[in-house]
Amino acid sequence: MTYDVFMAGFGGQGILLVGNLLAYAGMIEEKNVCFFPAYGVEKRGGAATCTVVVSDEEVGSPVIGHPASLLVFNPLAMEKYFHKVAPGGFCLINSSLVEEGGGARSDLDILRIPANEIAVEVGDQRLVNMVMVGAYARKMGVVSLDSLKEALKSVLPERNHRFIPMNVQAIDAGAAYVDAHR
């Protein structure tokens, strides 16, 4: 099975970090992966996107014209990329920042998640990215939550390993939101 996801928001939201995390989790599960990050020159506050492909088969390219899944972190990402999701695809929208009515498509499975509020409940606003990737992994089954948690040790610098328990809580909180809204 092949899963491709495009994540978009602004620099500082940790989009490249969770893209890398998802790719490492795929490697832990001995899957083939591609990780393709992109960000504006200003980095923090500028546009940030990444594409991740996780597959049981060989992956030809990380460039996906019409991704099967989209993780929308902010309104600009919704405006720029929502229309590109392949029909029948999945869109996870951070409803804390993206207002209702940002886009309507009857051909998509759309889940709106209050990621900012969930991150604050876990203990830190900066955990929005972990909430989103936990929700995506639970909804799509691309990798297990255990693999995501294990991958934290590889993608976080050692000086930040003390934050792993909080990141694990945020991943679990995102997954729990999906479970509660099936």
Render pLDDT for 43-91 as a digit per residue (tens, 0 to 9).
566 789 999 999 999 998 888 889 999 999 999 999 999 999 999 999 9
Render pLDDT for 93-122 as a digit per residue (tens, 0 to 9).
999 999 876 567 899 999 999 999 999 999
Q: Number of folded domains in the chain?
A: 1
Position 174 pLDDT exceeds 80: yes
Judging by beta carbons within 10 Å of its beta carbon (0-12, 13-18, 19+), is residue 150 exposed, middle or buried? middle
Q: Which domain holds residue 112?
A: 2-180
Overall size of the chain counted in residues: 182
pTM to 2 decimal places? 0.95
Q: What is the CATH classification number for the domain harbouring 103? A: 3.40.920.10
